[in-house]
Amino acid sequence: MVHIDDPQTQKANLDYIRTSMNAPILERDYEKNLAMRWKNDGDEKALHELIKSYTRLVISVASKFKNYGLPMGDLIQEGNVGLMQAAARFEPERDLRFSTYASWWIRSAIQDYVLRNWSIVRTGTTSAQKSLFFNYRRLRAMIEGREEIEGLEDNHRQEIAEKLNVKVKDVESMEQRLSGGDSSLNAQISSDSDDEWQNLLADDDALNPEDVVIGMKDAESRSKWLNEALGALTEREQKIIRERHLSYDGITLEKLGDALGVSKERVRQLEQRAMGKLKSYLSRNLTNHNDLISNS
């Protein structure tokens, strides 16, 4: 899937990149001062200067993903979202440069964007599958260059699987995904037929309109109960539950610990405590616990 920017967009992107690369590099003490002013005083001018100085970092990270066929401008904008998230969560009192902390958030935001938009079919959700997606081409090129071959053999796939701690079948699946493109269900089956591929798909949805409405109502009620239960948690506990259990990807304990500035074990303890609070709240406020379970 290749996206091509129009000339005006390309020019705007180049102007933005040129301006960002000319921004002054911050000294460590001044950077910390800006971060303290933003965190403690809500100084938006300090935030703006901090963000503006590190858009060069966004561009640097975004350029590493330009071969995935997505617009450079979009990659940069997603990276800027990650940069803003880093500024919101950064703790300047810790002995850590903002650029080091922000790099993880920028890369994560861009990777998520690439995974959402590279293909119409979702490409893996676990951290191992993401690592495979973003490292497969590099490892394949390394192996082919080392052994002067074109294409991988079984032992090469095994090598990649071991390096990335995934199964060989995952490597084979990714190899097929990256070697082909998306196909439209509206495409004709053959040149001499007007039938489309979508005509061959079976409809497994046997629900009538009444069942659909009931299902929507039940889902709305469950969502309301869950939001009320989450309101009984602290802000940090809510973040842990949402990131670990209510997010499509499900972040690891280690990455969440880095984001919160605590150890992986501490995140696990907080998660257990938060889950206990949720269960306790729901036990007190729901007369029938089966109401939380979808029957569809």
Type and span of the H or E element at 86: helix 72-89
Question: Do 113 and 69 belong to one domain?
Answer: yes
Question: Do 215 and 286 belong to one domain?
Answer: yes
* Joined tokens for residue 278: 């949720």
Greatest alpha-carbon pair distance for the chain in Å reads 71
Write out the residue range of the structural domain in which residue 284 sits. Answer: 209-292
Task: Judge whether 51 lies within some domain.
Answer: yes
The pLDDT assigned to 296 comes to 45
Burial letters for 215-245: b for 16+ Cβ neighbours within 10 Å, e otherwise? eeebeeeeeebbeebbebbeeebebbbebbe
Task: Judge whether 1 lies within some domain.
Answer: no
CATH code for the domain of 40: 1.20.120.1810
**The domain boundary residue, chosen from 140, 157, 179:** 179
Question: Do 112 and 133 belong to one domain?
Answer: no
Question: Do 13 and 107 belong to one domain?
Answer: yes
The pLDDT assigned to 203 comes to 53
The pLDDT assigned to 37 comes to 94
Question: Do 78 and 112 belong to one domain?
Answer: yes
The pLDDT assigned to 67 comes to 79
Task: Judge whether 185 lies within some domain.
Answer: no
The pLDDT assigned to 32 comes to 92
The pLDDT assigned to 294 comes to 45
* Joined tokens for residue 63: 């350029």
Whole-prediction pTM: 0.49
Task: Judge whether 92 lies within some domain.
Answer: yes
**The domain boundary residue, chosen from 117, 146, 163:** 117
Task: Judge whether 195 lies within some domain.
Answer: no
Name which of 254, 1, 241, 3 is nearest 123 in CA terms: 1
Domain count, the chain: 3
- The 8 Å CB, 24+ separation contacts for 109-114 are 109/78, 109/79, 109/81, 109/82, 109/85, 110/61, 110/62, 110/65, 110/75, 110/78, 110/79, 110/82, 111/65, 112/78, 112/249, 113/70, 113/74, 113/75, 113/78, 114/65, 114/68, 114/70, 114/75
Low-confidence ranges of the chain (pLDDT < 50): 1-2, 120-121, 181-184, 206, 212-213, 289, 291-296
The pLDDT assigned to 293 comes to 43
Phi/psi at 80 (5° precision): -65, -35
SS3 category, 188:
strand
Task: Judge whether 33 lies within some domain.
Answer: yes
**The domain boundary residue, chosen from 179, 198, 217:** 179
